[in-house]
């Protein structure tokens, strides 16, 4: 009997490859990607990068691409799944999904079983998000949903019932997003009534209304936690948040991306370049180590393109083309290319109506790095 001695780097690569293979078997459901697997990979990324275990040869992206495709799907919805979200509550790993079949479903990511169902009756569910605010402050599992009946609802998983309704929009609510600061206390909503609204989740009160679009708001994001901000600050003043430089970005049917100042309620950047409706916008993150950090915005559109925008120059910095149908969602990735480890992530991904997920090098607008069909 003999032993094989491996370097720390080689051992780490084997562990990650084995972990990805196991997660593929257990978790399934690559079809609706949408930050799901990336959130798992993110932990591994931080753990090893921060401890500088890897040298210049970091093969995480290559290992991810070479891993087997996920074989399982979660079935139950009777129509299009328009939104999913993922969260961990204690030992439970949960997925929630919203659909045109008017239902919100909750799934156990370990067993792939549906464990909860909420019904919006006759209205499409456009967006679903887990509420971290309720988890951190009330120790409860709550899902927030936006629907075509102009209403935003909060659902309590434990009691299996509706917790709260907030309404002020006058048309379909297409998108919602919780703040990364103040433990998710603030909720932003975008609607086809051409407004963006900011809510206080603690009181369920409307704080601000942002006006300025000529068409409906199709997607939104709130800028990430600022490095100079104390996440434990419990100030009730939304002015304090604005004073820290927090902004909202939004995309619309009018083909523009607007950036809004939360404190002044005014738009101060307008990005133009997409030829059709904007379907997805995402801020970069300093925490994730994205090249350009929070000074970048990623967008996808029905014009089949993915674009990267620089908030410092107010200009488009990259355009990625290759999809043959609408781009429905875009996301920054913690995956890093081999021989490119510098503490920054250089990979972004996009999902499209052409039934593919494509990965791109953020520094180049050449052909995609990898494609999942």
Question: pLDDT tens-digit profile of 9-60?
Answer: 555 555 555 444 444 444 443 334 444 444 433 433 333 333 333 333 334 6
Cα–Cα dist 196/298, whole Å: 19
User: Tell me, what's the pLDDT at 46?
Assistant: 38
- In the numeric block, which tokens belong to residue 339? 């021989």
DSSP state string for 319-370: EEE--SS-EEEEEEE----TT--SS-B-EEEEEETTS-EEEEETT--SS-SE
Closest to 187 in 3D by CA, of 253, 104, 266, 248: 248
Among 189, 154, 153, smallest CA distance to 173 is for 189
Q: Which pLDDT value is given to residue 102?
A: 95
pLDDT at 101: 95
The pLDDT score that the predictor gives to residue 237 is 46
- Backbone φ and ψ for 195, nearest 5 degrees, come out as -125, 160
105: tokens are 């479903």
What does the alpha-carbon distance between residue 142 and residue 154 come to, in Å, rounded to a whole number? 6
The predicted structure's pLDDT at residue 305: 96
Q: Domain-by-domain residue ranges, the chain?
A: 79-372
Between CA 105 and CA 97 the distance in angstroms is 5
How far apart (Å, rounded) are the C-alpha atoms in residues 81 and 37? 18
CA 11, 362, 366, 351 torsion: positive or negative? positive
Angle between helix 36-50 and helix 8-27 axes, rounded to 10 deg: 160
How far are the Cα atoms of 20, 30, 66, 113, 282 from residue 27, in angstroms, in the given order? Answer: 10, 9, 17, 11, 25
- The residues, any chain, with a CB within 8 Å of residue 230's CB and separated by 6 or more, are none
For residue 13, the model assigns a pLDDT of 52
Q: In the chain, what is the straight-line distance between the N-terminal and C-terminal CA atoms, in Å?
A: 43
Q: Which pLDDT tens digit goes with each residue over 92-125?
A: 889 999 999 999 999 998 888 999 999 988 899 9
Q: Which CATH superfamily includes the segment(s) 79-372? A: YVTN repeat-like/Quinoprotein amine dehydrogenase (2.130.10.10)
> From the CB of residue 55, how many other CB atoms can be counted at a distance below 10 Å?
11
Distance CA 254, CA 268 (A): 17
- Cβ proximity of 255 and 219 under 8 Å: no
Which residues in the chain land under pLDDT 70?
1-64, 66-71, 225-244, 286-293, 335-345, 365
CB atoms under 10 Å from CB of 97, counted, come to 24
Structure tokens of 65? 């691409």
């Amino acid at each position: 009997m003999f032993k094989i001695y491996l370097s720390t780097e080689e051992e780490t690569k084997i562990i990650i490859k084995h972990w990805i293979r196991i997660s593929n078997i257990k978790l399934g459901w690559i079809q609706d990607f949408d930050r799901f697997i990336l959130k798992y990979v993110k932990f591994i990324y931080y753990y090893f990068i921060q401890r500088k275990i890897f040298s210049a040869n970091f093969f995480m992206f290559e290992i991810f691409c070479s891993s087997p495709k996920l074989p399982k799907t979660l079935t139950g919805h009777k129509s299009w799944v328009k939104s999913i979200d993922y969260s961990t509550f204690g030992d439970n790993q949960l997925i929630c999904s919203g659909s045109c079949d008017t239902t919100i479903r909750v799934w156990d990511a370990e067993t792939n079983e549906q464990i909860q169902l909420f019904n919006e009756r006759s209205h499409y569910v456009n967006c679903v998000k887990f509420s971290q605010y309720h988890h951190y402050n009330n120790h409860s599992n709550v899902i927030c949903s936006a629907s075509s009946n102009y209403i935003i609802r909060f659902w309590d998983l434990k009691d299996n019932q509706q917790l709260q309704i907030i309404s002020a929009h006058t048309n379909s609510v297409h998108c919602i997003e919780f703040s990364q600061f103040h433990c998710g206390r603030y909720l932003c909503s975008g609607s086809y009534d051409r407004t963006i609204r900011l809510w206080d989740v603690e009181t369920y009160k409307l704080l601000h209304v942002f006006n300025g679009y000529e068409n409906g708001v199709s997607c939104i994001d709130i800028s990430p936690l600022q490095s100079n901000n104390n996440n434990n600050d419990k100030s009730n003043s939304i002015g304090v948040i604005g004073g820290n430089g927090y902004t909202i970005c939004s995309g619309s049917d009018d083909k523009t991306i607007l950036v809004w100042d939360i404190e002044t309620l005014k738009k101060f950047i307008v990005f133009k370049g997409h030829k059709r409706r904007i379907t997805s916008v995402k801020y970069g993150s300093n925490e994730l180590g994205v090249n350009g950090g929070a000074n970048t915005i990623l967008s996808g559109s029905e014009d089949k393109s993915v674009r990267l925008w620089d908030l410092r120059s107010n200009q488009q910095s990259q355009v990625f083309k290759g999809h043959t149908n609408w781009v429905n969602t875009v996301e920054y990735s913690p995956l890093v290319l081999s021989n490119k480890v510098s503490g920054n992530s250089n990979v972004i991904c996009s999902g499209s109506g052409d039934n593919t997920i494509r990965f791109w090098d953020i520094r180049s607008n050449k052909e995609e790095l990898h494609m999942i069909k």
